[in-house]
Structures are given as C-alpha cells and as structure tokens.
Amino acid sequence: MKRPRLLPLVIAILVLSLALMGCGIVNPTVRLLTDPTATATPRTVERIVVVTATPQAREAAPSAPRPAATAAPPITLNIAPGADVETQLLEAIYQKVNPSVVYIENLTAVSRTGRSTTQALPESSGSGFVWDAQGHIVTNNHVVRGADRVQVTFSDGIVLPAQIVGTDADSDLAVIRVDPSLIKLTPVEQGSIAEVKVGQRAIAIGNPFGLVGTMTSGIVSAIGRSIPSDPNQAVSFNIPQVIQTDAAVNPGNSGGPLLNARGQVIGVNTQIVSSSGSSSGVGFAVPINIVQRAIPAIIKEGRYRHAYLGITGQTYSPAWAEALGFPKDARGAYVSLVVSGGPAAQAGLRSAASDTQVILGMGTSGPVYLQKGGDLITAIDGQPVTRFDDLLVYLESFKSPGDEVKLTVLRAGEGQKLITLRLGERPSRTQ
C-alpha cells in the first residue's frame, strides 16, 4: 500500500534533476573534464582569427575590380584545455609557410689575383617565397640587383641555382626561377589588401643576418604609406599603399613574406626605418595588390609596365586657397609640374608657373615658394581625389598603359573641367 505513494516523489526528483541540467547547474560533461583521473580530449578550434572586411570598408572601396585573392582554408588547431592558443597559432603558421620561404644569395663574379679564373662570391643575401608550382620565386629587386648568379636554399637545406626572370625597380619586386623538377615546391597562399587593417596580427618569415627560417611577430602598425622605391636614389617613383609593421624586420628579411593570421601573404618586406641599420619597430612591405599585378607581368614579359600621367605635385592645403585662387573647402592633388610631351601635357593639363608668397620650406639656396597656375585634380574616373597619393594608388591598382581616364580638375578663374587622358608608360630607370 505504501509503494504507490513513492511514485510521485520519484517522478518529482527526476523532473527537478532534468531542470537543473537544463539550467547548467548540473553538468555531467564538466565533471568528466575536471575529473583528475580522466584523460583530457583535445578540442578542435577552427578559424582562430578570421580577417574580413567590414561592411563600411566594402562600401568605401573603389568600384573598380580588385585582383581576386586565393580562397583561404581555415587554420585548424587541436588545442587541449589550458593550452596557449596564440602560441599554437604561430606554430601552425610557421609549419604552413616556412617550406615556401627561401634564402637567396646574390653571387657576383670576381677575379682572384694570380688566378686565370673567376669565382662567384656572395655579394648580398635576402629572402623570397615560392609563388607557383612552375618554380617562380618572388623577392625584392634590390636583393638580386647586379647579380651574375643567384643561388637559392630551401627550408630543407637543398641548394639550387636560379635564373632571374625579370625585375621591376619601381615596385622593388623581382622574380627568379628554379627547376621545378628538382624539388617539391609549396606555393604561398595570397591574401587580400582589402582585408588588411591596422591592429591586425602581422608575421614575417625570412633570413635576417643570414639566420635562415626566422619568424617574428607583431601587428600592422599603419596602412596606406607611400615610400620611395629606392631610398638610396635622389629621385625615384613612390610605392603606394605600403604596409607598416612593428614585426622585427632586419637586413636579410628583404623579399620575404609578411603574413596575416591565416598564413596568407599580405606583403613583401622591403625597407626599414632605422638609425642603427637594424630593426627599430618600423618596417615596410610592398602590398599584395601591387604584387598580384606586377608578378604575373614580370613572369610573362620580364618586366612590369606602370601607368603614367606625367605630372608631379602635392596634396592641396586649404591654407593655399587665397594664393592659388581655389575654394578653401576644395580637396585634391595640386599639379606643380607637367612633364613636357607626357600624357598630361598632351591632354592640356596646366602646371604651376609663378611664385606666390607662401613658403613651403627652406632649400639649399633659400626659401622654396609655392607656385600658382597649376590645375587641381579633384577626381579620377569619378573617384574622389583628396591626396596626391590617391592618383598613384588608383593607377597602380586598376590601370595600365594605354588605358583612358577622365580627370576632374579645378582651374583658377575658369572653374571645373573634365579632361580625358590616355595613360602612357612610366619611363624606365636604372634597375
């Protein structure tokens, strides 16, 4: 007679237990994981860091098409409870990319006194990375400049001779090639410049001071920098959209990849700013969008042809409004010089012609004055121009010699004009 009375009590206890488990108060799984006698099972974590362009960035991006980036598979890590995710992520990136990174020696033939033969000796060294399965390797122009022979050492110690396929001094890029039948090649995965943002992780793998296979880590410190392609020359064209990083980059890192958190190449390390000649936390990399345009052309033709306007100038300042006769709220690229016979000259662009009272700086012979009379470029193909670099970025990203562009300009005393211009090819300079 007492057994039926126990049934409601048993049912109530079961219902309460299920409710507690649903609320997370009772959790048998947690007990198993915290059991000191149990073996911890590694958990799989996918896409530890996913770098994506924000909707705002997508809307602000130019409407012209960008080079397609290689699809990025997730980096999958097996991480045990309590493990350092950052460390394992860096380890995974190194294992993924280091086989693609090479040590490059620039060998110059020199005569030995008292000998009738010449011997190739290392002139300089740097880094590079495998671009494709056909044996093409990307590096800096300045790494292989002047080489009689080039020698490549892979991560497994195999040393192969390489031929210089072509170079481009204006982007400081070069392509060399090894015989693909002699070694198993691991091409890099390419990233996208549209996804690069300040604060994101940046990783460099290269051979600083000849220390092969060195990895350093930091962040993207700035984007959109413009640096001279050869700081050792008094005059050189600028490389736009350069990526700045505080990942340690030293002599010997030149030509090596700058990577994102997926192990994708986002740039080619090229220069540093330093008073000592070694890393001071300011390194620069040629952005991947320029690499993606230049390298296929260098492989095909041995060179890359840059689009050319034939002007020099600077970013317009509202402080110049009265002196130049432009509105204070105007923005654009002020044309100080139009190269004689160049595309801009043929299209009728005007350069500055006479001094104003505005001093821009001090030169070796005295004050340098702002000149008036030049056109102010406010847009190119409908894309707003607010800095002089905007012109270079647009041309380097989307245009080639022979293409036609439409420039919106302000001309003092005449108002706004639309000028159609056919782009030329940038004059070549010493490699």
Active-site amino acid positions: 142, 172, 254
As given in the structure block, the two tokens for residue 400 are 């080639």
Residue in this structure with the two tokens 């080639």, named with its chain if needed:
400
Which is nearest to 139 in space by CA: 329, 130, 148?
130
The pairs formed by 163-168 with CB atoms below 8 angstroms and a separation of 24 or more are 165/136, 165/298, 165/299, 165/302, 166/298, 166/299, 166/301, 166/302, 166/303, 166/304, 167/141, 167/298, 167/303, 167/431, 168/141, 168/294, 168/298, 168/303, 168/304
Whole-Å CA distances, 363 to 208, 215, 324: 38, 43, 22
Query: Ramachandran region of residue 266, left (φ > 0), alpha (ψ -120 to 50) or beta?
Result: alpha
Neighbours of 63 (CB within 10 A): 8
286 and 270 in contact (C-beta within 8 Å)? yes
